[in-house]
Structure 1
Amino acid sequence: MKPIFESIPLVKNENKKRFEIDINGKYAFINYGEFGNQIALVHTETDSELAGEGAASAVVEKTLQYLEANAISLLPFCPYVFAYIKKHPEWKRIVSPKFKGYDKL
């Protein structure tokens, strides 16, 4: 994660059902669904002004840290999150073994 994003807090916006970071009024976020002690991450998006700056990776990393710290099991339906975990296999530790694509991570 780029140092610029380290001090930006992750917000769990329950009204919008997304994890988000606010970078000077521009957002990077991941939509989620909660199922008991599991969270499905379904879509990652960043404002176009943040494209190529690492904001999407930052919000994913911060969200995975949040899930681990809160002992929440992950269902990575979002293709970006899925690819991020493939690239950073240490995060497979928080993926639910019941996730259909678990063996592909």
Structure 2
Amino acid sequence: MSDTIEIQHEGNETEGRYFTSVEGAAREAELTWRAEGDVRHATHTFVPTEARGQGLAAKLVKAMIEDAKEQDFRIAPDCSYVEGYFRRHPELSDLRA
């Protein structure tokens, strides 16, 4: 996996996803979310088998965290991966809903 993975984002006011293609995989890696007010619920994180264990899920979460800082929303970690990420990074507690 390249260190220059580009995480893309698409969505609207109520739902969206962070994603990137994975070479050799039929499905993209993605983190999906839905919004309730100023909180975005991280609902699911998926990384194809071909790219697991290489930090791609963390890159998806980091992209969402950067947007939270810039756009002033908080993140509800409804997904177990995002929950674990927040547990490992207590310095981000101000972004957690």
Using the size of structure 1 for normalisation, the TM-score is: 0.74
Q: CA deviation at 1:67?
A: 1.5
Identity between Structure 1 and Structure 2 (%): 20
- Consecutive unaligned residues of structure 2, counting only runs of 5 or more, are none
Find the counterpart in structure 1 of residue 35 from structure 2: 34
Q: Which residue pairs with 1:8 in the alignment?
A: 6
Contact kept, 8 Å, 1:10 with 1:19, in 2: the verdict is: yes
Unaligned runs of 5+ in 1: 97-105
- Distance in 2 between residues matched to 1:66 and 1:25, nearest whole Å: 29
Aligned residues: 93
Give me the CA root mean square deviation: 2.3
- Please report the TM-score for the alignment, with normalisation by the length of structure 2: 0.79
Asked if 2 retains the 8 angstrom alpha-carbon contact of 1:28 and 1:46, the reply is yes
The secondary structure found in structure 2 opposite 1:77 is coil
Distance 2:11 2:21 in 1: 11
**Structure 1 pair 3/68, CA: closer, same or farther in 2 (3 Å)?**
farther
Q: Cα–Cα, structure 1 residues 25 and 40, in superposed 2: closer, same or farther, change >3 Å?
A: farther
Q: Is the 8 A contact 2:7 2:60 kept in 1?
A: no
1:10-54, Cα deviation, whole Å (9 max, x unpaired): 31345x832212344752211111112210001110111111111
